[in-house]
Amino acid sequence: MLIRTPQNWDLPESAATPERDYLLRPRRDFLKTIGYGAAGMAGGALTSHELLATTAGFPTRMNPDHRDPALKPTPYELVTSYNNFSDFGTGKDEPKPNANKGWKTEPWTVELGGLIRNPVKIDANDLVNKMGGAEQRVYRFRCVEAWSMVSPWDGFPLAKLIAFADPKPEAKFVTFTTFNDPKNVPGQRGTALDWPYFEGLRLDEANHDLSFIATGIYGRPIPNQNGAPLRLVVPWKYGFKYGKSIVKIDFVAKQPRNTWQVLQAREYGFYAGWKRAGGRAPNSCRT
C-alpha cells in the first residue's frame, strides 16, 4: 500500500446523497430512484454483472440503532468506483473494471472452521438466510491513506455467525481468508502482497455489536469491486482490516499475522483501531 497525501474524499455535506433519497422511501421506490438517476446517483441502472452478486436478504431494512443522522453517506457512485482491492490492481479506478471481467462471485462457498463445534461449508446465500436475512447500517470507514467514506452497508452482525459456528473455549481470535484465484485474477499472480489477503480480529472484538459482514451497499447486492459476496466491516478500525470476498473463517487460539503486518509490521499492526486508545470499540456507530 502506498501512503498517499490526503485526497479530497472527505466530501462536503453538499455533495452527499440527501438522506431523504434513500432512508425514508419504501425500498422499491428507492431502487427506482437510484436506478434512474437521482441527484448524487450518477450510476444508472444495475449492470448484469452487478446482479450476479449474492442476492439473499434483499430488500433489507434499516437498523435504527445504527443510523446516526450525523453521518452523511458518500454517493453510491463514489463508494463503488474508488476502491482498494489490490487483487485487481493498485489504482483506485482499477478494481471496478477488472473485477467485472468475468470473475464469478456466485455461486460462492464459505467455510467455517478451526476451534468450533459447528464446522461447515455453506453457500453464501444460504448463510445469509441462516443469519436471518440482512439489515442496513450506516458506518464511516477510514483507510490509512487518509481518505474516508460513509456507506450504508447491508448484511448481518458477525456475532450471529460466531454464535452459529459455536466456538470452543480455546478459540480467542477469528481469521478471515479471502479468495485466491491467481489463474483468473492477474494481480494475485504478482508479488505485491502475500496472497490470499488475510485478516483477523480478537474474538471479543469480532463479537462486538458493530462488527459486521456486508453483503450489500445502499440496499443493493455488493458489487464485485467492493468485495462480493461477503466482506468484513469493523467501523472503529482502518479499512485494511476489512477483508473482501471471504472464503474461509477460522477460529484460532493465537493472534494471527495479517497481510499488511507481514509486509510492513512497523506501519500496520494487528489492532489498527481508529484513534481509540487501547484499540477499544466505541458504543455507537459514530466513529
Residue 228 to residue 85: CA distance in whole angstroms? 11
Binding region for Mo ion (CB under 5 A) out of 22-30, 93-101, 235-243, 257-265: 235-243
Binding region for Mo ion (CB under 5 A) out of 18-26, 139-147, 244-252, 253-261: 139-147
Q: What is the DSSP string of 244-259?
A: -SEEEEEEESSPPPPH
Q: Enumerate the β-bridge partners of residue 150.
A: 140
Residue whose CB is less far from ligand MTE, 22 or 85? 85
Q: Does residue 273 bind ligand MTE (CB under 6 A)?
A: no
- 155 phi and psi angles, rounded to 5 deg: 160, -150
Strands 246-252, 231-233: parallel, antiparallel or unpaired by DSSP? Answer: unpaired
Minimum CB–partner distance for residue 252 and Mo ion (Å): 24
> Site mask, ligand MTE, residues 205-244, x = CB under 6 A?
---------------------xx-----------xx-xxx
CB–CB of 211/199 below 8 Å?
no
Q: Does residue 240 bind Mo ion (CB under 5 A)?
A: yes
CB–CB of 102/96 below 8 Å?
no
Q: Does residue 103 bind ligand MTE (CB under 6 A)?
A: no
In this structure, what C-alpha cell is assigned to residue 108?
Answer: 460462492
Angle at 175 between CA 173 and CA 180, to 5 degrees: 170
> Site mask, Mo ion, residues 66-105, x = CB under 5 A?
------------------x---------------------
Q: Does residue 74 bind ligand MTE (CB under 6 A)?
A: no
Residue whose CB is less far from ligand MTE, 66 or 244? 244
Site residues for Mo ion per CB under 5 A? 84, 143, 239-240
